Amino acid sequence: GHIVHNWKVRWFVLLQDKLLYYKLEGGKKESSPKGRILLDGCTITCPCLEYENRPLLIKLKTKTNTDYFLECCSREERDSWALDITGAIHAGHPVQVEELHRMKNSFKLLENISLHHIVDKMRDSSTGIKLTLNVEQGNRYKETFTGSALVDWLISNSFAVSRFEAVTLASMLMEENFTKPVGARSTGAMRYSDLSEQFLDDSTALYMFAETSKKMLSSKEELQFNISELSGTIVKQGYLVKQGHKRKNWKVRKFVLRADPAFLHYYDPTKEENRPVGGFSLRGCLVSALEDNGVPTGVKGNVQGNLFKIITKKDIHYYIQASSKAERTQWIEAIKPLT
């Protein structure tokens, strides 16, 4: 938001010269746009790392120096939007579009840039890569960063122009013993993958500077109660509309589906903190699509279509709306094997 700097879910439509965004009401977009971003003279930053706890941002600066921060729900979606928006910005300049594609499909390290220089920049206390505490399978790893965070950082600092190039560069840092993998995900890739696949562009693969002290272990019981729930592998994530349990109103939530352990968590996208507002174990759950003709039993309000229901082992009923039948089917098929 421009006046109140909160975060709100909007439905975006990219046109040739502008980006329209619509307000959602009851899970459906309103007929007229809430606002528009004119793309003529825009500059785009992707990945944008200005918000430490929001790694999936695109930043657009308009010709009049207005900043827009747009958050996606996956890196693939973010990069796809960024590429399409960049193409729209440069649509009238075919030479620039051709140059963008050439840069995306080529790999060449910048001249006069040494790996030592990159590591020095990574370690900078203000502009370097953020070191955080990460938890994997009940183990705590201090001063670590994820594979995808390093890829984002290398691109945003112009050491690489594509994710492929950044992964190659990150692999070189690891091979030269500037960084090292920690945790089962990244060390497993190091042990069993080909050289080109050893560094993972992944938000669950952990790395640290090679000379950083060894990991600190802690049992799951000593961690906050929800750490074990949040340690599973992310299977699927995205925005859905959920009916509240008490007021029966409908709100947009970001859903994250995890396996081992199997949990479905949902987040309030308007909140700054990256903590779920609810969630439940999928073991013993029943999930099914609801008919699109009429309002099903248990559903309140004027919300119809693309609904599905999850009944937990404790007989709690969750009513959720997807944006299309295809998306509903995808979520149901992703959840069923974890029940």
Beta carbons within 8 Å of 285's beta carbon, 6+ residues apart = 310, 311, 312, 313, 335, 339
Mean pLDDT of 331-337: 96
| pLDDT for position 264 | 94
Lowest mean pLDDT among 170-179, 264-273, 289-298: 289-298
Mean pLDDT of 297-315: 83
Checking if the pLDDT of 231 tops 60, the result is yes
| CATH among 3.30.160.270, 3.40.50.1100, 3.40.50.300, 2.30.29.30 for 227-336 | 2.30.29.30
| CATH among 1.10.10.10, 3.40.50.970, 2.40.30.170, 3.40.50.720 for 115-209 | 1.10.10.10
Domain with CATH 1.10.10.10 in the chain: 115-209
With cut-offs at 50, 70 and 90, classify the pLDDT of residue 106: very low
Domain with CATH 2.30.29.30 in the chain: 10-105, 227-336
| pLDDT for position 216 | 38
Mean pLDDT of 156-163: 85
Tens-digit pLDDT profile for residues 65-79: 999 999 988 777 887
Beta carbons of 339 and 313 less than 8 angstroms apart: no
Quickly list H helices, the chain. Answer: 75-89, 94-104, 115-122, 147-156, 163-175, 184-192, 325-335
Return mean pLDDT, the chain.
81
Kindly report the length of the chain.
339
| pLDDT for position 303 | 72
| pLDDT for position 288 | 93
With cut-offs at 50, 70 and 90, classify the pLDDT of residue 150: very high
| pLDDT for position 195 | 55
Tens-digit pLDDT profile for residues 172-224: 888 777 898 988 888 887 776 655 567 888 888 999 998 763 333 333 333 34
Mean pLDDT of 251-257: 91
